[in-house]
Structure 1
Amino acid sequence: MLARLFAMILLIEALQIETQEVPRWISVKTAELGDTVSLDCAALPDDREKLYWYKQSLGYVPQTVVAKTYEKTTFFHLRFTVGLDFNLTIRNVTKSDEANYFCQQGIFNSWNKGTFVSVKDPNDQRFVSQTVVQQPVSASAQLGDPVALQCSITSQRTDHSNQCQGEPSVYWFRSGPSHPAAIYMNGNRSGECQNSSGPPSAPQSSVYTLPKNNVDSSDAGTYYCALAACGEVVFGSGTILDITDNFLVILVHRMMLACCLLVILILILIIHYSVRKPIP
């Protein structure tokens, strides 16, 4: 009996380690000014549930754009509508609609994956080619460890026209089991940007870092580096961050728990037989 109890404890712990939820991915949908965009909601519509659509623009906190309660559905933008399946439709898309969108079922759970809507202006000529490269593709850390995620951004002029004005902004998105895919923070440049000594069209490379200290299980997920510059947003391919527990520590903890259970069982048996023993 005791052997079975100890084996069950170890089995439960092993299942907890290996059945971590797979991080959800963020998707990007491109539209032009004036287009109509439809976004899917992974939630299952139910008259008994509350449903919400959220919009999170670059550098801003999420805002509710649609709220469905027991009595009615409220729209916070006239161009936004939802169907019976609660998919979101945005009509006559403008540049202000460029943001990350995600829906939620209920109040505390059932977040869907995020969809970033990138809005292009066909009349806006681009003279800069931009790429975002994230390394490594995946990273692993133990609870409490520090982690630094990096992305390299390369910009190169495609002709001799003036480059767009303003400094580029780098944002980090996260898609994971504990939170919806959303903007995690506004990234800052780490280190020097390397300018080639060649002609004006030579590429310029910069490295941006997202530092994280004392990671825990809620930090697990896929992190995306996004560059917002020259009126467009360019995404990296993502870095998967896996947070693992120290199995040795867990094993020792479970062995101590098993010993405590054994002591409790022995005390129960002693008390049981003491009570049943006849008094001389």
Structure 2
Amino acid sequence: MDRRNLLPIGQFSQASGLSVTALRHYDASGVLVPAFVDPVSGYRYFRRDQVRTAQSIRALRQLDIPVEEVRRLLDGREEELVAALEARLRAAERRLEVQRSMVHSLLSRLTEGAEMTHRVTVRQGAAERILVRGATLDNSGLDAFLRGAYEELYEVAGRGPLTFTGPAFVRFHGVCDDENETLVEACLPFWEDGAQPTDLPEGMTVRELPETTLACTEVEGAAAAFPQVLGAYDSVADWITGHGFAFAGPVRMVYRRWTGTPDAPENRLEIAWPIDEPADD
């Protein structure tokens, strides 16, 4: 075996920036296989042209891309690798945007107080019959789900046609962010004495919501886009706990005015949380 074009694992480690332990691991997982393994000593040798591949592996792992995904990307076309890196960049920029917004929100709460930023009022919500499409997901899939769900809901509503009794709204049964999944329901309220929906697709139902008292605040423009809108949820939750009420159901995001573009200045959302008097101990 001509070893003049080969580097022993120690030298290859220095050239690639990967530890000897990491190189052994990538060999065992099939990500970076040495060009030659001495049958007597078991010592690994790598070709010089494998250095750039090893450096790419190091960079991909530093981006927290799993080993199996790294192997798939390196075995695929260059276009796939470019697309994956661009997707990773967008995700990193989005996380940075969320973190920046969270810091600004916390600073605002510390200097101004939540209620100075979001005025909370109480209104009575009427009993409603609603057309519902639900799914369990986290925030990364929320926009796509809502677009698809409302397309289906309005298609079904148009067959009646249904008589709407209020704006569309979304119910969140728990925390929906980048780390937590919850049941999310897209809802259309309609007149119970008018035309009724028929031939509902799988996963779509009709539900009855009882009359309820709602603690509410409204946000407009950029404040209605994620993650800025989270401050409105926090303000309503703080108001409910601070005034001694009990949470009585999933929080609602009501589309009071919506252009279809998340940060459009004309957008207006209402965050409405069902409340009740606290139960006596």
Shorter-normalised TM range: under 0.3
Which structure carries more helix by proportion? 2
TM-score normalised by L of structure 1: 0.23
TM-score normalised by L of structure 2: 0.23
Bigger relative CO (Cα 8 Å, ≥ 6 apart): 1
